Structure 1
């Protein structure tokens, strides 16, 4: 029995939304790092913060579309259990399981963002640091579970995303990076 047009559309939509989510996650990580700096980069700090929030929201929506479309697609063989319990699936259990771990981390990040004012800034910040684990897990999931992972264009997307995040993280840990609060204190002196 071959795939129907709807099955092919669901499969393509699942793949495309996952790849686009990875790109938007990369934008969210890079702008999140940039918004913590006291410096004006391409945008003022508050503009970067808004771009970070927007990219994170779009990425979250795309991940939801990714999961739902693959659940509806009979070819992907994704079960609801696979989206809740890591490494329980039959299809590429390690790689799909990493996707489940990434979704679990994303859920913690989203819930902490929604409850930010109730849990306080310190708890929010600690949970939000899960993004530094979430992003590489999502990238590894894309490269292992994705049917396009060996294609040159997908490798180029993954390489560009990796380069962007590695550069932002290298800047984040360098002496040139100043947290917003520290930069503000220095400017008041």
Structure 2
């Protein structure tokens, strides 16, 4: 028979693990989302393949975030209430860092909803809402660094730094002047 202390420890460990894994998949999805907008193949993969991995990463991150939240809701140490999942900065434990996670979740919920309604709301609205991912990812990273109990471990700091580096490289690649979207704009402006 499993005692309550072991069950609480399991909930806490699984809650942390799903959060860390979700950050990894969210990072992958954000980096690939940035990469697919370039119009260029990535590592010899065609654009549709990169887009499929981007969507898979986003779905995996969303499911892991849901698991992270559910596991920590039932964990007595975390002391989460249902309102903590929707309204930021009300939590009992590190309310600022928990609030950043709540904000990230709220943004994620809007992104998921508009992704499911993409064909009904139109591409322009979908893209405008999808830009919120540029706020979602740093909020999630800040939540992990501020609220996570593994921030004192080198492996976690290396993981977080790797996530930040991957997104930074993707952003720098997108901001290059030969980025396909910018090249089209330059061609249009040069023909005037």
The TM-score bracket by the shorter chain reads: over 0.9
1:131 aligns with 2:133: yes
2:180 is paired with a residue whose SS is coil
Show the counterpart of 2:120.
118
Show the counterpart of 1:18.
19
Question: Which ranges in structure 1 are unaligned for 5 or more consecutive residues?
Answer: none
Note if contact 1:112-1:119 (Cα within 8 Å) is conserved in structure 2: yes
1:48 is paired with a residue whose SS is helix
CA separation of 1:39/1:68 partners in 2, compared to 1, >3 Å: closer, same or farther? same
Match of 1:149 among 141, 148, 151: 151
How far apart, CA to CA, are the structure 2 residues paired with 1:167 and 1:139? 16
Show the counterpart of 2:106.
104
Note if contact 2:177-2:183 (Cα within 8 Å) is conserved in structure 1: no
Match of 1:78 among 67, 77, 80: 80
Of stretches 174-183 and 54-63 in structure 1, the one that deviates more from structure 2 is 174-183
Show the counterpart of 1:29.
30
Question: Which ranges in structure 2 are unaligned for 5 or more consecutive residues?
Answer: none
How far apart, CA to CA, are the structure 2 residues paired with 1:69 and 1:13? 7
Q: TM-score, normalised by structure 2?
A: 0.91
Note if contact 2:22-2:64 (Cα within 8 Å) is conserved in structure 1: yes
How far apart, CA to CA, are the structure 2 residues paired with 1:48 and 1:24? 14
How far apart, CA to CA, are the structure 1 residues paired with 2:125 and 2:108? 16
How far apart, CA to CA, are the structure 2 residues paired with 1:101 and 1:38? 31
Show the counterpart of 2:57.
55
Note if contact 1:37-1:180 (Cα within 8 Å) is conserved in structure 2: no
Residues 4-15 of structure 1 aligned to structure 2 (within 5 Å): 4-15=5-16
Following TM superposition, by how much is the alpha carbon of 1:176 offset from its aligned partner in structure 2, in angstroms?
Answer: 2.4
Q: How many residues align?
A: 184
Following TM superposition, by how much is the alpha carbon of 1:180 offset from its aligned partner in structure 2, in angstroms?
Answer: 10
Q: Let me know the Cα RMSD of the aligned residues.
A: 1.9
How far apart, CA to CA, are the structure 1 residues paired with 2:144 and 2:162? 14
Following TM superposition, by how much is the alpha carbon of 1:18 offset from its aligned partner in structure 2, in angstroms?
Answer: 0.3
How far apart, CA to CA, are the structure 2 residues paired with 1:111 and 1:16? 26
Note if contact 1:38-1:181 (Cα within 8 Å) is conserved in structure 2: no
How far apart, CA to CA, are the structure 2 residues paired with 1:180 and 1:36? 11
